[in-house]
């Protein structure tokens, strides 16, 4: 408008370019446009316009300066002084605050926030070299940096973090430091100095003289011992934690035992850290007011040297939302849990039996371990395309399919479908280490692949042995391998379908009005799973008992001969509960019209189709559809319910099978829960049958109070 | 000082007027409502994208001339399905709990259905009990859980409504 050229050309004009004032052009365009019109071009339309930012809007423009324009400006303005204070006592206190806040930031990062907004909001860490004169802070920051780098590496390698990709974003952050591999020796040196100082002040307090003439940590001799202790446990925690990560990284689980020792030390130091809080708060001299539990430091003070906004431009064009750093207490709790989860992983005996491994991973996930722990587990399980970096997956599969040991060397492993099967098993293990939400989606997706592999293997089997009455020894072995593997693949497929369905409960995907169809489908899948499991076990008995016989018995005969194995009984307990719940829900719906939600736009059929689409597409199981669901449940009523109590069956089976699992505390614990559900539901069913249709004040609800996926029926009077 | 109880507006449901997005004059009303109630920073272009391309899917609720609620949606082809998407739904606090949101959403979904959509989808925080109940009553299921979907670490449900297949004309019986 004024026609003057821009003052400071930060981008200089060149030979072929020149600065020109576009204000008149823009003004003309603005005048020419009417409200609601948009100038658009070939690659700029309304959709693209959505990415527009309004400059200077603090919600949208991450270039907005909040306090400091840059890290250097922050430092120039004294945001991160070195030394932190000229008073050595205050310097030590503030150093401890920084250490505590860094721990809280680290926990917040692990929990799912970005590194830039958490650990690297520390100005000292962003310019680590300038902390060199302050040995304590310098060595501590180095270990933090090296630790973060190690953790990022583990999580990136595991790639178990699809939705948690905020975690590994390190763009623009100074994560690589020269000499960081020496960080432990630096830390050890500082630890040694402070240890000597602690010994010295203990000697001084007991009036013994030490030959050394050490410089005290800080000027107040009454507080010296307390500060030394507070610092030592913090330094030692970092040292042992770094060792845990290094040990667990060693291939094939070679470092797990050492890792456990360091984990134990970490736990000890964390306890000492918590205990030091009293001393740290007391040496304030002032009484601290306010809620200390929310603070990110033991002292309750705000730490010096942190600014989360300095990195905002590194994250994205739009400024990141302000996050809440975990409180110091919660951070310590987080690390206690993390270490406990890592300890469980380190205690695992690397069982070559896939079935036990699957049970272990499922059990491990019940405590809802966080990303860092899960990534470590995944890296332990799958390394270099082998189980534990040690066992080829074909060997794992043959063992799981109850084939003789020598089978693992058979040429059939080069078969394309067998190779693909190996990949599927590997992926299954990786999937089992992810968070439940992602896990369920992946299970659903891979069902199709498992089905396809089964069909391919079956086809290959038939092509090889179709009409031929085999006589050659090798062909016999091939046939046996195929048979066993086919059975095993089917069983695994139903197991994945079962996991897919029950994860829906954990993730709260089902409303009570959908429980009937879910339990019905679960019943159908479990029935198949039990059948295949039984066949699989029976076939493995066959190996043990009938070694010399040439005659081939059908799997059905074998199944009839042997008693029902405990694993199958366990599933039958599930089946009874699923059937019982289906029927009671169907009866309630049919008799008193509860737990149905007719919407204006669709019916129960659409919900059925949506929930079970992936299973239906993979024909798991066959001949299961909405009409067959309706057929099974339309006639359920209180009088039919009274005729048979599936919950009593479940109770009986649970009691019976307990003795078979006396060495398995996890399964015993679950059996107890199943018994509780069965008992409660049996009583509820009787009540409903007697009073249900007559008493309108009876309110029935289904709560997952005893068991993660079998609901307890609760009957109340409203 | 005791907290003042939340003021609820007094009105008869019949007093609420629902209108389809009618043009530029409605845009600031929608923007004010959404900016006020939701914390996502939307530029004006985001609003224009929706109301320009799919004006028939956005609705406003008025009470005595004051805009008290709005729904903003889109629809389109997504992996071989023609799908509707509910982008924003807001009713100001004093008017909540009276079925206004349900009515707004219902109108939009009906329009989607008539336009040939096969399904409708949206995301909602797992903690948003009100929204989950509303959509549950309309026939949405919780199709997926999205871990830490929102930047504050809260998970989301992807809600989906599947329309029944369109009724086909019954062919006349061949054996009369």
**The complex's ipTM?**
0.91
Determine, for residues A508 and B145 on separate chains, whether the beta-carbon distance falls below 8 Å.
yes
- Give the whole-angstrom CA distance, residue A582 versus residue A560: 28
Q: Which parts of chain A have pLDDT scores under 70? A: 1-9, 59, 62-63, 65, 160-165, 207-213, 284-291, 314-320, 466-475, 542-562
Residue A590: partners with Cβ closer than 8 Å, 6 or more residues away = A633, A634, A635, A636, A637
Nearest beta carbon to residue A52 from set B43, B53, B164: B43
Would the pLDDT of B41 be above 80? Answer: no
pLDDT at position A290: 62
Burial class (CB in 10 A: 0-12, 13-18, 19+), A359: middle
The answer to whether A606 contacts B139, with C-beta atoms less than 8 Å apart, is: yes
Would you call B153 an interface residue with chain A, using a CB distance cutoff of 8 Å?
Answer: yes
B144/A602 CB distance under 8 A:
no
Yes or no, beta carbons of B138 and A600 under 8 Å apart: yes
Interface contact B139-A601, CB threshold 8 A: yes
pLDDT at site A557: 55
User: Is A345 or B6 the better-scoring residue by pLDDT?
Assistant: A345
CA distance B79 to chain A (A): 15
Q: How big is the A-B interface in CB pairs under 8 Å?
A: 110
**A323 contacts B152? CB cut-off 8 A:** yes
DSSP assigned state of A4? P
Q: Which of A50, A107, A434, A435 to mutate to test the interface with B (most CBs of B within 10 A)?
A: A50
The reply to whether residue A606 touches residue B164, judged by beta carbons under 8 angstroms, is: yes
Tokens encoding A376: 């470590």
Query: In this structure, is the dihedral angle defined by the CA atoms of residues A233, A235, A236 and A240, taken in order, positive or negative?
Result: positive
Return the closest-CA partner of residue A479 out of A410, A557, A556.
A410
**B41 contacts A602? CB cut-off 8 A:** no
From chain A, the residues in CB contact with B144 under 8 A are 437, 440-441, 509
By the CB < 8 Å criterion, does B166 face chain A? no
Residue with tokens 């609420």: B16
Chain B interface, best mutation among A44, A323, A437, by max B CB count within 10 A: A437
Q: Is B29 on the interface with A (CB under 8 A)?
A: no
User: In this predicted structure, what is the pLDDT of residue A544?
Assistant: 58
Strands A382-383 and A386-387: antiparallel
Predicted confidence at residue A1, as pLDDT, reads: 43
- Minimal Cβ distance to A597: which of B24, B43, B136: B136
Dihedral sign (CA A395, A401, A407, A413): negative
For an interface test with A, the pick among B41, B78, B84 (most A C-beta atoms closer than 10 Å) comes out as B41
pLDDT at A455: 94
- The pLDDT of residue A537 is 87
Question: Which residue from A138, A171, A135, A131 is spatially nearest to A152, judged by alpha carbons?
Answer: A171
A571 contact partners, CB below 8 Å, separation of at least 6:
A526, A529, A530, A533
SS3 B167: coil
- From chain A, pick out residues whose CB is under 8 angstroms from the CB of B139: 597, 599-602, 606-607
pLDDT in tens, B65-123: 999 999 999 999 999 999 999 999 999 999 999 999 999 999 999 999 999 999 999 99
Mean pLDDT over B46-51 rounds to: 92
Rounded CA-CA distance A252/A638 in Å is 58
Say whether B164 and A441 touch across the interface (CB within 8 A). Answer: no
Determine the 3-state secondary structure of B174 from DSSP. coil
- Report the pLDDT value the prediction gives residue A481, as an integer from 0 to 100: 86
Give the strand order in the sheet containing A386-387.
Answer: A382-383, A386-387, A391-392
User: What residue spans of chain B are helical by DSSP H?
Assistant: 27-37, 44-53, 100-114, 129-138
- The reported pLDDT for the residue numbered A48 is 84
Substitution target from B39, B42, B45, B165 for chain A, most A beta carbons within 10 A: B45
> Chain A residues with CB inside 8 Å of B43's CB?
50, 52-54, 60
Task: Flag whether residue B154 sits within 8 Å of chain A, measured between CB atoms.
Answer: no
Q: CA of A598: which chain B residue's CA is closest? A: B139
> In b/e form, how buried is each residue of A137-151, taking b as 16+ CB within 10 angstroms?
bbbbbbbbbbbbbbb
Contact (CB<8Å) A59/B24: no
Whether A164 sits inside 8 A of B149 (CB atoms) is no
Q: Do A323 and B52 touch (CB under 8 A)?
A: no
Question: B135 to chain A nearest CA, in Å?
Answer: 10
Q: What is the pLDDT of residue A200?
A: 87
Structure tokens at A381: 């399980």
Q: A421-434 in b/e burial notation, b at 16+ Cβ within 10 A?
A: bbebbbebbbbbbb
For B166, the closest chain A residue by CA position comes to A602
Residues of B in contact with A318 (CB under 8 A): 41
């Amino acid at each position: 408008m004024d026609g003057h050229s821009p003052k400071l050309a930060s981008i200089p004009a060149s030979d072929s370019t020149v600065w020109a004032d576009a204000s008149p052009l823009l003004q003309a365009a603005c005048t020419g446009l009417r409200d609601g019109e948009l100038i658009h071009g070939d690659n700029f339309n309304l959709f693209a316009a959505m990415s527009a930012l309004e400059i200077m809007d603090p919600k949208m423009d991450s270039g907005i300066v909040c306090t400091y324009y840059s890290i250097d400006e922050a430092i120039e303005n004294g945001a991160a002084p070195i030394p932190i204070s000229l008073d050595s006592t205050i310097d030590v206190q503030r150093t401890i605050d920084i250490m505590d806040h860094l721990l809280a930031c680290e926990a917040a990062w692990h929990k799912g926030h970005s590194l830039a907004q958490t650990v690297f909001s520390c100005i000292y860490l962003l310019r680590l070299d300038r902390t060199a004169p302050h040995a304590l802070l310098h060595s501590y920051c180095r270990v933090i940096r090296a630790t973060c780098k190690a953790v990022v590496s583990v999580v990136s390698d595991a790639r178990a973090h699809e939705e948690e990709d905020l975690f590994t974003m390190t763009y623009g952050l100074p994560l690589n430091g020269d000499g960081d591999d020496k960080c432990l020796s630096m830390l050890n040196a500082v630890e040694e100095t402070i240890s000597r100082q602690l010994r010295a002040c203990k000697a001084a307090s007991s009036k013994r003289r030490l030959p050394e003439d050490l410089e005290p940590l800080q000027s107040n001799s009454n507080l010296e011992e307390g500060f030394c202790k507070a610092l030592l446990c913090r330094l030692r925690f970092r040292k042992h934690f770094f060792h845990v990560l290094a040990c667990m990284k060693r291939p094939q689980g070679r470092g797990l035992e050492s890792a456990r020792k360091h984990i134990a030390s970490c736990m000890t130091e964390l306890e000492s850290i918590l205990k030091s809080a009293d001393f740290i708060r007391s040496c304030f001299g002032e009484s601290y007011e306010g809620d200390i539990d929310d603070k990110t430091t033991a002292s309750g003070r705000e730490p010096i040297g942190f600014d989360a906004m300095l990195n905002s431009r590194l994250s994205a064009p739009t400024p990141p939302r302000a996050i809440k750093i975990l409180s110091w207490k919660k951070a310590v709790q987080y690390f206690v849990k993390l270490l406990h989860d890592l300890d469980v992983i380190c205690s695992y005996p690397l069982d070559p039996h896939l079935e036990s491994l699957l049970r272990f991973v499922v059990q491990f996930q019940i405590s809802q371990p966080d990303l860092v722990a899960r990534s470590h587990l995944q890296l332990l399980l799958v390394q270099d395309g082998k189980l534990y970096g040690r066992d080829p997956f074909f060997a794992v599969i043959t063992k799981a399919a109850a084939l003789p040991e020598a089978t693992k060397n058979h040429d059939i492993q080069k078969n394309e479908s067998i190779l693909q099967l190996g990949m599927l098993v590997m992926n299954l293990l990786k999937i089992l280490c992810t968070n439940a939400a992602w896990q369920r989606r992946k299970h659903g997706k891979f069902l199709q692949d498992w089905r396809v592999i089964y069909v391919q293997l079956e086809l290959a089997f038939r092509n090889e042995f179709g009409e031929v009455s085999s006589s050659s020894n090798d062909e016999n072995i091939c046939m046996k391998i195929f048979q066993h593997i086919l059975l095993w693949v089917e069983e695994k497929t139903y197991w994945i379908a079962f996991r897919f369905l029950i994860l829906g409960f954990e993730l709260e995907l089902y409303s009570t009005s959908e429980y009937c169809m879910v339990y019905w489908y679960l019943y159908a899948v479990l029935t198949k799973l039990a059948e295949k499991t039984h066949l699989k076990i029976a076939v493995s008995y066959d190996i043990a008992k009938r070694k010399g016989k040439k005659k081939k018995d059908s799997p059905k005969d074998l199944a009839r001969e042997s008693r029902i194995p405990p694993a199958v009984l366990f599933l039958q307990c599930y089946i009874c509960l699923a059937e019982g719940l289906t029927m009671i829900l169907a009866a309630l719906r049919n008799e008193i019209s509860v737990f149905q939600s007719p919407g204006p736009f669709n019916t129960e059929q659409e919900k059925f189709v949506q929930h079970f689409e992936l299973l239906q597409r993979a024909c798991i199981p066959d001949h299961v559809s909405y009409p067959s669901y309706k057929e099974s449940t339309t006639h359920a009523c209180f009088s039919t319910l009274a005729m048979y109590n599936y919950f009593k069956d479940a109770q009986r089976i649970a009691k019976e099978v307990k003795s078979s699992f006396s060495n398995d505390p996890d399964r015993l614990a679950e059996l107890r829960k199943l018994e509780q559900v069965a008992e409660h539901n049996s009583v509820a069913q009787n009540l409903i049958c007697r009073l249900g249709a007559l008493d309108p004040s009876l309110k029935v609800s289904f709560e997952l109070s005893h068991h993660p996926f079998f609901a307890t029926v609760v009957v109340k009077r409203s | 000082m005791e907290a003042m109880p939340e003021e609820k507006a007094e009105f008869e449901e019949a007093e609420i007027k629902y209108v389809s997005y009618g043009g530029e004059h409605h845009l600031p009303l929608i923007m004010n409502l959404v900016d006020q109630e939701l914390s996502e920073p939307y530029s004006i272009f985001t609003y224009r994208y929706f109301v320009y391309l799919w004006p028939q899917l956005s609705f406003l609720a008025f009470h005595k001339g004051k805009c008290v609620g709005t729904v903003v949606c889109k629809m389109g082809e997504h992996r071989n399905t023609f799908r509707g998407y509910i982008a924003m739904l807001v009713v100001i606090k004093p008017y909540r709990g009276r079925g206004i949101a349900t009515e707004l959403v219902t109108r939009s979904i009906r329009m989607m259905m008539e336009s040939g959509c096969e399904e409708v989808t949206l995301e909602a925080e797992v903690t948003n009990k009100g929204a989950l109940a509303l959509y549950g009553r309309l026939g949405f299921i919780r199709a997926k859980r999205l871990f830490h979907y929102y930047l504050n670490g809260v998970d989301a449900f992807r809600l989906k409504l599947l329309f029944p297949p369109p009724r086909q004309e019954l062919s006349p019986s061949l054996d009369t």
